[in-house]
Amino acid sequence: MEIVIIVAVIASLFFVIGIAEPLAARLRLPYSVIIALLGILIGSAAIFFLQTTLTDALNPLAEAILNLPIRANVFLYIFLPLLLFQVTLGMNLRRMLDDWVPILVMAVVAVVVATLSVGYALSYTSSLPLAACLLVGAIVSTTDPSAVVSIFRSLSAPQRLARIIEGESLLNDAAAIALFGLFVSYVMLGVPDPKLGEALGRFPMLIAGGVMTGWILSQIGLRIMGLFPRYEQAQMSISVALPYLAYIIAEQLVGASGVIAVVAAGLTLNLAGPRRIEPTTWTNMRETWDLVAHWAGALIFILAALLIPRLLEGTTVTDFLLIGVVVLAAILARAVILFGLLPVLTLLRLSPVVERPYRVAILWGGLRGAVTLALALAVTENALVPVEIKRVVGILATGFTLFTLIVQGTTLRSVIGRLGLDKLSPLDQALANQVIAVSLQTVREDVAKSSDNYKLNHEIVRAEAKRFGERLDAVVRSAEAGANILDRDRITLGLIALAGFEREQVLIRLRDRSISARIGEAALSQTDHLIEGARTHGRTGYQRAARRAVSYGRAFRIASFLHNRAHFSAPLALLTADRFERLISERMILRDLDTFIDARIRRIHGRRVADLLRELLGRRVENIETALFGLRLQYPGYAEELERRLIRRTALRMEEREYNIMHEDGLISEEVFISLIQDISARRLQAEERPMLDLQVQRADILRRMRLFEDLDDAVRKPLGRSLRTRYFDPGDKIMRKESHARSVFFIASGAVELETAGQISRLGRGDMFGELALLTGKPRRTDVRAITPSTILELDEKRFRKLMRRSPAIREAAKIAAAKRGVSIDALLEETS
């Protein structure tokens, strides 16, 4: 009968979880506050029914609730890995990497400051040893990521700010739990006054060990998933095992932080998963994890809340005073971060500007939750921790959690209202009016078509059309009037709408798999940059983000350095292939935006704004075409392969759509439909596999298309291609310096360079040669050469160059012409070479 009661209790808790979310929405309170209050009520009711003499009928149920097998290990080993892993999978890491400095600094520094602030405040005001005080500080420095994220979503906060706070909340938990493990070991060993430098010195090792463990296990998991790409459920099962293995191995075998290992494993899977796992499987995996984590998060909260009445047993007046000390110290520590460190990061241009009202909202919205209660429970259950320390730690952590949930959580909405953060800015209100106006115009057209198709009563149609038209006219006037909206803001609104539509197009192509998940994620990140750039800096921000999309970033420069200096070409080949595919996909998407400008934006903002947006769009298309042209010159054969792949994927999408239509119309049976879809799936796997970019093969293709090597036959060209060294240069990079010793000659495969000799400037382009005169004459170089565009240069050593000159009249003639331009005759040298 006992198992029946336990199952009934767990099922009832799921029922409570189900009603908590709509109840929170109706009461306009954070979900975590409602779920915690319900848990406290259930736990208190169970204690009441056991102690009351009114009835004994509910005693078995009350005993089952209070005797549920809830231990700290249940929270730390079952629920916590699920929660942390899901949060990492749902994060937009490509965008968060742009702000990794403020996220990391705020997370680690905030935890350390909160731990020290609370620890030393308690040490001065209580009789607890310093180690126990610092342990309390680590426990209460964890914030509830789900509560913080939901707050900022309700505020409609800037996306970049919301991302920083979300990332800080996640890493905050990981760092705090790592510190918790450190200080609880001191308490168990009976070290009353640990040396702070020694304690914090172990902190980086806990993090580094966890990061390595999580990364290695995630890579192993991805390789195993790659062995059976068609088995979706098998891949999901491995993803479920991954956080648990990472946590246990890091904690029990490596001696590192299990929480850090789970976070590292999730981040690795988030970054590498979209390109190694089939898009449909990846989407389903994330949706499954969302549901599992929702249940786990609610259960950990409600089960922890059930324990609150027991954790607060035996509370004294002194304990309440100490709870007040913890509250003041924790709030002060967070205020130091928000009003001290954050402005410094902004001055250093490492963080966006965070307005004072937002900082106040973040300060008051620092809710604590189930993780804090779980850590406190772990201390109270530890047999090696002294009894008095157990009691005080449990009371202080629980009391502080209740203060943040009941006092801060219930008043947060009113604080937000007083700060004016619950109202749309003039720009956002204008954007809302634009969305309504555009939507209503589309609805009016669709309703008119439907009325004609269904032959509805003309009088009713006219009456409703008049009523609808009045509403539409009012909305359009509101959108057009905008007395407080300047012309530049109208342009900003148009750019935000244009970037938003571009994002929708990317999502559509991701769903129909005409672009890969890897490229789709990068494209979504780019549209987010466009939206934020337009929102914060208008036209300038939009253009800056658009230029960034076609520029060579830091990763590409590092890959070029590895290729040029270390002859390690794999990263460069991967990034170049990604750039190729992304530019082709972006060009395809931008072709569809003209129609949106004419059909939507022009209706609201007029011809002038529409023409300006079309001009900006034209510049983006031109920049992409230029970048693609340069890549085609470098890798002509690879460009053709990618375009063939795009055509094949598009054809498969259209073929699948036709089969779906026939199946829905009943023209083909279920058996035939399944057979056709399976055939398409098999062909799609082949079509989605991107061809490898082999820089060695592409070099031979480049030589074939360069005029200086046209007179060479394949027997000479192939070994020459193996001898040439490919080097990549960004604009401004020095390729050749004055007074350097000549050991090689250079050929321009693509791009352009500028030569400076005795104050004279000249330029060379694709197919030209330089550096040969100094090599032939044996004198130091007299010319500085730098790239003026992204350039691919082929370098050939002296021995092979002299051998090449004997075989190629074209190269001998080119060297002779270059020497004549500088007033130098090299006929004698050429005769010696021949």
> What is the tens place of the pLDDT at every residue in 475-533?
666 666 554 556 677 788 788 888 888 888 887 877 777 777 777 777 877 888 888 78
Lowest-pLDDT choice from 29-43, 72-86, 114-128, 440-454: 440-454
Q: Are 284 and 233 in contact (CB under 8 A)?
A: no
Please tell me which of 52-61, 775-784, 811-820 the model is most confident about, judged by mean pLDDT.
775-784
Cβ atoms within 10 Å, residue 500: 16
Query: With contact defined as beta carbons under 8 Å apart, do 180 and 124 qualify?
Result: no
CB–CB of 158/123 below 8 Å? Answer: no
Q: Is the pLDDT of residue 761 over 70?
A: yes
pLDDT in tens, 536-567: 778 888 888 888 877 777 777 787 777 766 76
Asked whether the beta carbons of 404 and 422 are under 8 A apart, the reply is no
Per the model's pLDDT, the better-predicted residue between 255 and 322 turns out to be 322
Q: 1-15, 616-630, 685-699: lowest mean pLDDT where?
A: 685-699
Q: Which residues contact 111 (CB under 8 A, 6 or more apart)?
A: 138, 141, 172, 175, 176, 179
What's the whole-number mean pLDDT along residues 101-121?
82
Specify the amino acid at residue 689: E
Strand, coil or helix: 787: strand
Task: Tell me the C-alpha distance between 397 and 770, whole Å.
Answer: 72
Instruction: Looking at mean pLDDT, say which of 147-156, 356-365, 431-440 comes out highest.
Output: 356-365
Distance of CA 624 to the CA centre of its chain: 24
Which residues is 744 bridged to in the sheet?
797
- Residue 760, classed as helix, strand or coil, is strand
Residue 732 has pLDDT above 70, yes or no: yes
Q: What pLDDT shows up at residue 627? A: 77
Better pLDDT: 807 or 221? 221
**What pLDDT digit, counting tens, does each position of 247-288 carry?**
899 888 888 888 888 888 988 888 777 777 777 787 788 888
Burial degree of 484 (CB within 10 A; 0-12, 13-18, 19+):
exposed
pLDDT at res. 483: 44
Q: Is 793 helix (H, G, I), strand (E, B) or coil?
A: strand
Quick one: pLDDT band at residue 202, thresholds 50, 70, 90?
low
Given this model, what pLDDT does residue 328 score? 92
Q: How confident is the model at residue 213 (pLDDT cuts 50, 70, 90)?
A: very high
- The pair phi, psi for residue 793, each rounded to 5°, is -115, 135
Predicted pLDDT of residue 249: 92
Q: Which two tokens mark 140? A: 């209460």
Residues of the chain above pLDDT 70, percent: 74
Give the tens place of pLDDT for each residue, 420-437. 776 666 666 666 666 666
Whether 801 shows a pLDDT value over 60: the answer reads: yes
How buried is 613 (Cβ within 10 angstroms: 0-12 exposed, 13-18 middle, 19+ buried)?
Answer: buried
Contacts 24+ apart (CB under 8 A), 381-386: 381/71, 381/72, 382/184, 382/188, 384/188, 385/184, 385/187, 385/188, 386/187
> DSSP E strands: which ranges in 494-645?
none
Give the CA radius of gyration of the chain: 33
Q: Round to whole Å and give the CA distance between 294 and 20.
A: 12
Q: Which three-class secondary structure state does DSSP give residue 766?
A: coil
- How many of the other CB atoms lie within 10 Å of CB of 120? 16
Highest mean pLDDT among 97-106, 296-305, 526-535: 526-535
Residue 1 banded pLDDT, cuts 50, 70, 90: very low
Phi/psi of residue 580, each to 5°?
A: -55, -55
Q: Please count the CA atoms within 13 angstroms of the CA of 157 that sit on its side-chain side.
A: 26
- The yes-or-no verdict on residue 467 having pLDDT over 80 is no
CA 642 to chain centre: 26
Residue type, 560: S
Token representation of residue 88: 């990492």
Strand stretches in 702-743, DSSP E: 725-729, 734-736
Q: Looking at residues 26-39, what average pLDDT do you find?
A: 77
Are the CB atoms for 767 and 733 separated by under 8 Å?
A: no
User: Across 451-455, 469-473, 589-593, which has the greatest mean pLDDT?
Assistant: 589-593
282-296, 349-363, 447-461, 649-663: lowest mean pLDDT where?
Answer: 447-461
Out of 113-117, 189-193, 406-410, which region has the weakest mean confidence (pLDDT)? 189-193
Three-state SS annotation for 14-66: HHHHHHHHHHHHHHCCCHHHHHHHHHHHHHHHHHHHHHCCCCCCCHHHHHHHH
**First vs last C-alpha separation in the chain:** 101
Instruction: Write down the pLDDT at residue 149.
Output: 60
- Lowest-confidence pick of 582-591, 678-687, 784-793: 678-687
pLDDT of 7 higher than 50? yes
Burial of 1 (0-12, 13-18, 19+ CB in 10 A): exposed
The total number of residues shown for the chain amounts to 834
> Helix or strand or coil: residue 649?
helix
Report pTM: 0.66
The mean predicted confidence, pLDDT, of the chain is: 76
Close Cβ partners of 261 (under 8 Å, ≥ 6 residues apart): 209, 210, 211, 213, 214, 217, 246, 247, 249, 250, 251, 254
| Range from 127-136, 412-421, 442-451, 694-703 carrying the lowest mean pLDDT | 694-703
Burial letters 331-347, b for 16+ CB under 10 A, else e: bebbebbbeebbeebee
| Per-position b or e across 583-609, b if 16+ CB within 10 A of its CB | bbbbeebbeebeebbeebbbbbbeeeb
User: Is 591 a residue whose pLDDT tops 60?
Assistant: yes
pLDDT score at 440: 67
How far does Cα 266 stand from its chain's mean position? 12
Distance of alpha carbon 283 from alpha carbon 192, whole angstroms: 50
Element (H, E) at 613: helix 602-634
pLDDT digits (tens, 9 = 90+) for 122-133: 888 888 888 888
Alpha carbons 526 and 693: distance in angstroms, whole number: 24
d(CA 726, CA 720): 12
The string of pLDDT tens digits covering residues 156-193 is 555 666 666 677 777 777 777 777 877 787 777 766 66
